[in-house]
């Protein structure tokens, strides 16, 4: 038994109360664990590695919504383009144009979130605030020229600092939430704010998260 059913029910309750969606992060865990959670009703799963996601997608039920939450390299977009439900970590215009190109090949529109760098750590990927505004401007111009028709920017994703300092994490989530709300006024398609993991999803929900990505609380610690 490698799924914590009690945690699952508790997290579901909290996300539902906040009108948020739970993405179960199953990276490094076997397909049998995913099937177990699927059998409890879970349909949204998140993976970080392209190869692993492709292998799992092939053997698991077709009505799963697969979220790609890791760092995506442009040359790997083609492998997940046929089926991916939402790409959380878009962090460059180049990646966006590649997603658009691959989505077009499959006659799809792929949902994307822009990753915003909110943590103190310098290692995390993502745009800063000014870059997000610039990018949305650029996308708008392309759209007027009938380009980039196969991507849908649905919102933002961010990861808070890995720290026990809850006040800091709270401020980082609040910052992202404010940015999201500002962008929403001009972009009605903005409806997803992906923030919150096992250690901080409750803080994230308090700050307006609409989608939490929880792994270890559901599947146990990763090796
Ligand atoms: C691994 C991962 C998660 C889940 O982390 P947990 O702490 O196990 O809940 C969430 N988001 C991203 C981007 C991840 O890489």
Q: Residue 102: which pLDDT band, with cuts at 50, 70 and 90?
A: very high
Residue of the CA atom closest to atom 7 of ligand 1: 198
Mean pLDDT of the chain: 96
- 98 within domain boundaries: yes
Can you say how many angstroms the Cα of residue 89 is from the centroid of all Cα atoms in its chain?
6
Number of structural domains found in the chain: 1
Tens digit of each residue's pLDDT (9 = 90 or more) over 164-175: 999 999 999 999
What distance in angstroms lies between residue 213's CA and the mean position of ligand 1's atoms? 6
Is residue 62, in this structure, part of any structural domain at all?
yes
pLDDT at 73 over 80: yes
Q: Is 198 in the pocket of ligand 1 (CB under 6 A)?
A: yes
Query: Nearest Cα to 125, choosing from 48, 53, 190?
Result: 48
**Which tens digits make up the pLDDT trace of 111-159?**
999 999 999 877 668 999 999 999 999 999 999 999 999 999 999 999 9
Q: Is 219 a member of any domain?
A: no
- What whole-number percentage of the chain has pLDDT above 70? 99
Q: Give the domain range for residue 83.
A: 5-214
User: Is residue 58 in a domain?
Assistant: yes
Query: Which CATH number is 178's domain given?
Result: 3.20.20.10
- What distances in angstroms separate CA 91 from CA 20, 60, 74, 203, 220, one per listed residue? 23, 29, 11, 24, 29
Span 78-91, mean pLDDT? 98
Banded model confidence at residue 188, pLDDT cuts 50, 70, 90:
confident
Residue 22 CB–ligand 1 contact under 6 Å: no
User: Is 212 touching ligand 1 by the criterion CB < 6 Å?
Assistant: no
| Alpha-helix runs per DSSP H in the chain | 5-17, 31-39, 50-59, 77-80, 93-105, 129-144, 166-186, 201-206, 216-219
State what percent of residues in the chain have pLDDT above 90. Answer: 96
């Amino acid at each position: 038994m490698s799924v914590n059913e009690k945690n699952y029910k508790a997290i579901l309750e909290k996300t539902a109360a906040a009108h948020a969606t739970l993405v179960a992060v199953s990276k490094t865990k076997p397909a049998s664990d995913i099937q177990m959670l699927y059998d409890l009703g879970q349909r949204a799963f998140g993976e970080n590695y392209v190869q692993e996601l492709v292998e799992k997608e092939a053997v698991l039920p077709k009505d799963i919504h697969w979220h790609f939450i890791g760092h995506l390299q442009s040359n790997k977009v083609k492998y997940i383009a046929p089926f991916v439900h939402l790409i959380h970590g878009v962090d460059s215009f180049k990646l966006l144009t590649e997603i658009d190109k691959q989505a077009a090949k499959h006659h799809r529109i792929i949902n994307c979130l822009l990753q915003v760098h909110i943590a103190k750590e310098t290692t995390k990927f993502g745009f800063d605030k000014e870059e997000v505004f610039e990018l949305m401007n650029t996308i708008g111009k392309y759209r007027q020229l009938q380009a980039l028709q196969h991507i849908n920017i649905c919102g933002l994703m961010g990861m808070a600092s890995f720290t026990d300092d809850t006040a800091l994490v709270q401020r980082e989530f609040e910052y992202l939430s404010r940015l999201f709300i500002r962008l929403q006024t001009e972009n009605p398609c903005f409806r997803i704010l992906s923030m919150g993991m096992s250690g901080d999803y409750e803080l994230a929900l308090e700050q307006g998260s609409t989608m939490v990505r929880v792994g270890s609380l559901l599947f146990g610690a990763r090796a």
